[in-house]
Structure 1
Amino acid sequence: DCAQATGPGAYVIQKANDWIELFKSKSSLASLLQIFQAQFPNSPTCANGGGRCQAPLQQKLDAAVFNDVMDTLTAYMPPWVDESVFEKARKNSQFKGISLFGFLGTMTYVGAEYQAVGTLRAGFRGKRSITIANFDDLWRFLPDDVLSQKKGNWSEAYTIINFMAEVLSSKNDIVKSMLQKDGLFETAIVDEGDVIYIPSGVLVVERVLDGSPCTGLRLSVPDTESKSAKANVCRLIKEHQARISNPDASQLLSLWKFLRDLPEAEESDK
């Protein structure tokens, strides 16, 4: 079985100075973020994504500025993700690039980060509230009759993450019990200029505050040297694989297995 997670392990770096100085000193980056903020609310991607959208950054900046952005963001990675692990992870397209992200001012989201992979988000504009919990912890908490639902009907379009998001979005006694359990959820406020790290396999309930759109940059993090991320990814693989009709064809399972199989530190208390 999968080892049990040991707390979500997310963190917020308030007013991350290097990040703030970067977009102040790089006019092309600041301009790009401002243009994106003006345009993304009307994009079909945003409308279809529940008020959330993203776009690749690399093709919009020259190489030197892009490399500066990458160096700045990777400095905020958890200490247990070293350079060699990140370079090996970049063999997978999920970890090669940086994305612009935009959230509408009315956005409320329940689910995981993109493909449930660890994520750094550096905020440029906007303020939001994030409540998080480990997928592994939530799964262990659910009763058997809930876990037996949807068996055999899962796919790339309807995943284990979609299922858990539906559970968290409901207002039944199970969710009330979850919310009352000490240590299961953590909540943070992420403001302009802050950087937040969300580990792999962590589920989020995210809400934009003050009604103003949020924009910033997003970077995927290969973080399964963390005990919590490792437990979450193990649980995602095990449970999704058991319920999907054709696991060998699942790109999502392939990604999670790639993440699981990255090198691990000899000792880690994270």
Structure 2
Amino acid sequence: MLGVGVRHNSKVSPTVVGRVLAVLDAFSSDHPVLTLSELSRRSGLPLSTTHRLVKELTAKGALERDAAGAYRVGLWLWEVASLAPHGAGLRESALPFLEDLYEATHQNVQLAVLDSGEVVYVERISGRGSIRIQSRVGGRLPVHATGVGLVLLAFAPVQVQERALAAPLKRYSAKTISSSGQLRRVLADVRRDGVAISDGQIELEALSVAAPVHGKDDSVVAAISIVVPGGGADARALVPAVKAAARGISRVLGAPSALHAPNEARRETL
């Protein structure tokens, strides 16, 4: 998965597609720019093979070469990625509501989807005064330790939930959910309340309030959250605004439950 990590020792697929994916998978948030030799090493491919693939990817625009001769992901890949079901359409529908949430607090506002048991952030708005957090557009974080992740997991199919409950739960702080029993109870609370509050699970000083976004068939297709400094923050005071924004996005996406709900005046509510 692009940007998730390095798979130096994993066996590279013998197919051309597998080799191309190995090259792209060499990039990560920690290593966004790589030389040819670094690409070869991190992808596990011979230098000659890497050179040939990189040349073709660069010609297509999937990679870009800088003045120093190193490579980074090109705009063509972003264009292709925007065609994903959770790409531009979802972001465009959500942006006005995310902007309203941001204007209300000038803290971090995020939009995320679930992919392969992880949270993927597809949009984020923050300012100079926002608390610093680990999430970034295109980045991934675990479902059990994030507000958006708890929402997405709570409304995910049962088999997805059970896989997450059976997997090791990485601890990021003293407040991180670290047992399947605790996670199961939290997910039940999220389904009951329609909102998740994640307090200090990754950064002790950060508090997240998240709510689900529903699609045309009323299934949960995304989650939004606001992340504020945790010290003394009243999470419950943020719940109405986050829920209203999530319902507004759901209404734009055509969710039946949101269409039948009262039409809040978005800016007045927030």
TM-score range, shorter chain: under 0.3
Q: Is the strand fraction higher in 1 or 2?
A: 1
Work out which structure has the larger RCO, using CA pairs closer than 8 Å and 6 or more positions apart in sequence: 1
Normalised by the size of structure 2, how large is the TM-score? Answer: 0.27
Over alpha carbons, which structure has the higher Rg? 2
